[in-house]
Amino acid sequence: MQRRDLVVAIDGPSGSGKSTVAREAASALDLRYLDTGAMYRAVTWLALEHHVDLTAGDELARIAEQAELKVTTDPRAPTILADGIDVTAAVRSPEVTGAVSAVSAVPGVRAAMVRRQREIIGEGGIVVEGRDIGSTVAPDAPVKIFLTADASTRAERRTRQDGLGEAPGSLAATEADLRRRDTADSTRAASPLQQAPDATVVDTSGLDIHQVVALIVEQARAVSV
């Protein structure tokens, strides 16, 4: 039987494989799943929809505090609603992707999201993915994984995910954007992207999804007996 209080924290930069791996691991372990990045993207989507100045930290924090966010935790069909609107697909738009690092760097936004994320985690039984789960959101999680991959591999994955295929210059542009986001995420003052000291680091560059999921499931089951 799986421990229902188990929390599996999966962190890593964009393109490291977090989302796919976290969903697959949650399904294999019969646990809930939470994509914390989608929550920051939903706040960003709301800010863009309401034409909020992305340098107006107080206004962005207000949106993060007051927005009605509804997140489903079924790993087979994760969705997110913002103020009653299903934005599951909309939060993956290029506009949101280009703005989310700036929004998520606002201390007030992060404070509001961390509080909401901890409420969703509750007593556990969940796989949570993001950039500061093991270090900030759930520092007591018994299983902490930090995924990484070389820049070219991450760019290739993100290019495929975004459906850009072989568009001229798409791979180079994606890699440049990933490096920009890495810098923004790892240097922000509030809850930066960082590896928790007790996390297991997994370089996914030469691994397929099944191999990474198997490793996570093995660690989770080891602490569940």
**CATH number, domain with residue 185:** 3.40.50.300
Q: What is the largest CA-CA distance in the chain?
A: 51
Is residue 98 in some structural domain?
A: yes
Provide the residue range defining the domain that includes 61.
7-222
pLDDT tens-digit series, residues 49-95 = 999 999 999 999 999 999 999 999 999 999 999 999 999 999 999 99
pLDDT recorded at residue 168: 43
Q: What confidence category does residue 11 fall into, taking pLDDT thresholds of 50, 70 and 90?
A: very high
The pLDDT value recorded for residue 202 is 94
Q: Within 10 A of 222 (CB to CB), how many other CB atoms are there? A: 10
In this predicted model, what pLDDT tens digit does every residue of 173-211 receive, in sequence order?
776 777 777 676 676 667 677 788 999 999 988 888 999
Residue 167 included in any domain: yes
Percent of the chain with pLDDT over 90: 67
Residue 126 counted as domain residue: yes
Inside any domain, residue 1: no
User: Does residue 59 sit within a domain?
Assistant: yes
Distances in Å between the alpha carbon of 135 and those of 55, 172, 194, 195, 214?
A: 26, 31, 7, 7, 23
List strand residue ranges (DSSP E) for the chain, in order.
Answer: 7-11, 32-35, 69-71, 80-82, 85-86, 126-130, 143-148, 200-203
Number of domains in the chain: 1
Q: How many CB atoms lie within 10 A of CB 115?
A: 12
In a domain, 163, yes or no: yes
Percent of the chain with pLDDT over 70: 86
2 lies in some domain? no
pLDDT band at 156 (very low <50, low <70, confident <90, very high): confident
81 within some domain: yes
